[in-house]
Structure 1
């Protein structure tokens, strides 16, 4: 790493520490070292496989790291033990949340084995313990006893429309737990059309949060759903059907 790159990394670390501290989240030196290593591994692996279209360090720190951590601005993750991240891609938001909250038992589900390989390497390189990586479609994994109705919290970030996400994610949530759909576009229409799926899958709308990404001034939204009863056994439907025929 050049002296200029090292200086830029240090300044971005300071910015991330300041921005998260303003939201009540304290990051230490060890965690910032993990974020720096995460960035470097992401860029290196991105040359071999398509993980992200965002590789500029400034944007990765804000659009990926800060955005992932934003869940902690609205929910108390210190009281969450088990977290599942569905369709995590390059590890967002699950891995940044695991870095910030090492106590979390994190499970990541992704349909592409190459991404699972990257995430396995990443978890080992960052020294993260308590990370389970599952290769498969969410529709199939959610039917397995060890994953169904098992998690205190479930996340999905910019994966699909809410009516689709609900069927993919709510079966993983235990009764009394919550699902956070992290969105980059206005969600009023999505939330309205998802009313049927929310009720049918055993949840209720707990609220919607909105904020702007610092430096980027981009809008972000977070739809919070609370699981109030078990999801009927017929859901999720077979792989591909929730996308083709959402519960509307």
Structure 2
């Protein structure tokens, strides 16, 4: 099952229309929620085999919001800018249980969940962006 998560009602409505038009009902759902809230929900926490994300914030914010959703050995795949920089430091990812596996293709980054994300993450809405972990 694929879950499309967005915090804006307008985008979720558009996604829901696309799901119906493509006849993906039953396999794909669009949910209106913030990743910070979803990551604290027992229904969603440590359940995902994979999480994909457009870079909706700096790497620390994306990692903190996605890591709680991943089960052990799950992967996070994010879009990346074309320039190669160390945006995903190992010492910043380790507290979230993530390790950087590099770029499988240009413009993408893959991280693996090697241990469960601590219950303290994600922090409340706004905190990952306001006080990034790295």
Note the 1:85-124 alignment, pairs <5 A: 105-124=1-20
Q: TM-score by structure 2 length?
A: 0.92
CA RMSD of aligned residues (A): 1.4
Q: TM-score by structure 1 length?
A: 0.51
Equivalent in the alignment of 2:102: 207
Greater strand share, structure number:
2
Equivalent residue in structure 2 for 1:132, among 9, 23, 29: 29
1:155-181 deviations in whole A, cap 9, x for unaligned?
A: 001322211110011111110111111
2:19–2:29 contact (8 Å) kept in structure 1:
no
Alignment partners' CA distance in 1, 2:101 and 2:114: 11
Alignment partners' CA distance in 2, 1:117 and 1:203: 32
Q: Per the alignment, in what secondary structure is the counterpart of residue 188 of structure 1?
A: coil
Note the 1:46-61 alignment, pairs <5 A: none
Q: How many residues align?
A: 133
Note the 1:11-30 alignment, pairs <5 A: none
Instruction: Name structure 2 gaps, 5 residues minimum.
Output: none
Alignment partners' CA distance in 2, 1:179 and 1:237: 19
Instruction: Name structure 1 gaps, 5 residues minimum.
Output: 1-104, 212-220
Q: Per the alignment, in what secondary structure is the counterpart of residue 132 of structure 2?
A: coil
Question: Where in structure 1 do 4 or more consecutive aligned residues deviate above 6 Å?
Answer: none
Note the 1:1-248 alignment, pairs <5 A: 105-129=1-25, 130-192=27-89, 195-211=90-106, 221-248=107-134
Higher relative contact order (CA 8 A, sep 6+): 2
Alignment partners' CA distance in 2, 1:111 and 1:185: 27
Alignment partners' CA distance in 2, 1:135 and 1:109: 6
